[in-house]
Structures are given as structure tokens and as C-alpha cells.
Amino acid sequence: MDLERDTVAAGPRRDSHMDAVQDIRHALKGLREAVAQRRVEPICLAYQLLREAAQDANMKLSDMLKLADQALPGPAADTILSAFARRRCFMCKSGTVQCEECSGTGIDERSQQCRDCNGAGVTSCDFCGGTGWAGRGTMPREIPSDTLRKRRLANVKRQLIGLRKTMGKLGTGKAAQLPLNMRRKLALRVMRLQARLRSLARETPVGNDTREHLLAAASKLDPYLAALRWPPGEQPGIWRETSSQEASERSRSKETPG
């Protein structure tokens, strides 16, 4: 975090200094509890409440973080940065939304594969670009964009290693034969990681080797996605879940009359 930036900001002075101190203590307690739960969104919200309390008290950012350091088991700045780097988009579920064209079935009106979602039943969220990440506008201004990008890049590298291990064990052939729900879950994971790689590439200066490596890594995920989406011989709309009623009807239709 950029501790030299300025104070937490120029908030109006409180009539009672004791009220401001009490608010800060309450906010610190909330932050401590959120960190103990290891839940991203509560940590982000608790930190924002702490900032507001510190702002009302006209407290410097560095002093506020010293108090947070005393209240938390580890370095406050690192904990807070980690939480905001993982904060999720408020407008989608992990980077995707239901396809409006096919209502999530993956099949169009002609019983063909939906062209908008390529049969996935979901499309990338317009707000986060499919990354599932919260936008820069939700971040405290003391978190530099470059620091946030580096933290997210480190997270994505770990996610990429994990995905490669998973797909390496399966192979594209076995991946295509996974049960529908497992294949769908894995495909959405690939789609989100691909979006994150491309988002980070856009934030990296042109000519930087890291940018080219990120774009290349995103492209190398295409075969995984193809195998998970369209196994040999499978009809379009593979993401459409079969209801229990449909399954029962299909089962009865296959029974041989006695």
C-alpha cells in the first residue's frame, strides 16, 4: 500500500473525539473477526468501515494501518491487499452470466448450438470481462494499480499450474468423458482463467515479455475448453441440465414391454 499518499482523506471533524475513537475500535474489531474467518468480502467491507472511521477522526493512513497491524495476526497491508485482489465482481457468478439468447440451455430455437454462447449456456460478464474480479472502482485509492496487478498475476500463475496438473492427469480424451456437471465446472474454470490471463495482458505495457507470455498461455487453454465443451458425438447444448422428470421419462421409454 502507498503509505505516503496522504491522510485517509479529509472527512468532517467529529463533535466528539471519543465517538471517533469508539468507531475506530469497533471497526478494528470487525476487521479482526473478518480476518479470523478468512472470508474475502467481509475483510473488504470491514476495512472500508475502518477507513471511514479513520477519515472522521482525520487520522493518517499510516497511523490507521499501525492500529490494524496491532489488531491483526499478520501485516495488515498484505492481508488487505490480498483480500481486495480476490474480491469478486458483484454482477455475476465467477465471471459468467446466463446466456440471454438461449436462456442457459445452450440450444437455440432451431435446436442448434447457440451461437452467442457456443453451447455453454453462459456468456462472459460485461462488468468484469469474464474474470470474476471486482472492478478498480471498488478498491481503496491507497492500493496502487500496479501492486494490485502483480498480486493478481501471482494468483493466476498458481491457478494456471493447478489447472495444468488437473488437465494433464485427465488428458483431453478423458476430460471429454467426464460427467456433465464435472465437465461444466471445469470448463467454467478454464473460461475464467483465460479471461484473467487476457485481462492482465491488457494491463501490461506493449513490448513487455510478460504480456506476450500471458496471451500465449490464454491461447493454450483453447484445446482444453474445446474438449470439455464438445465431446465427440455429443449434441449441442451439453450444459443443459436434465431434470429428474426428463430422466425418468427417458428411462421409461427405454424399457422393453413385458
Give the percent of the chain with pLDDT over 90: 42
pLDDT top residue among 182 and 87: 87
Does 64 score more than 80 pLDDT?
yes
Work out the pLDDT band at 244, boundaries 50, 70, 90.
very low
Q: Which of 239, 242, 241 is nearest to 122 (CA)?
A: 239
The chain-wide mean pLDDT, for the chain, equals 81
34: pLDDT confidence band, cut at 50, 70 and 90?
Answer: very high
β partners of residue 124: 96
Measured distance CA(111)–CA(168) in Å, rounded: 34
Dist CA 152 CA 158 (whole Å):
10
* Per-residue pLDDT band at 247 (split at 50, 70, 90): very low
* Cell numbers representing residue 127 in the block: 462488468
169-208: per-residue pLDDT in tens? 887 778 878 887 788 888 899 999 999 999 999 999 888 8
pLDDT above 70 (res 233): no
Which pLDDT belongs to residue 187?
87
Q: How far apart are CA 227 and CA 187, in angstroms?
A: 9
Q: Which residue has the higher pLDDT, 3 or 2?
A: 2
pLDDT at 7 over 60: no
- Ranking 20-34, 73-87, 171-185, 234-248 by mean pLDDT, the lowest is 234-248
Average pLDDT over residues 99-108: 85
Rg (CA), the chain: 24
Res. 98: pLDDT tops 50: yes
Q: What is the pLDDT of residue 15?
A: 53
Q: How many CB atoms lie within 10 A of CB 197?
A: 24
pLDDT tens-digit readout, 35-55: 999 999 999 999 999 999 898
CA-to-CA distance for 226 and 187, rounded, in angstroms? 9
What is the model's pTM? 0.77
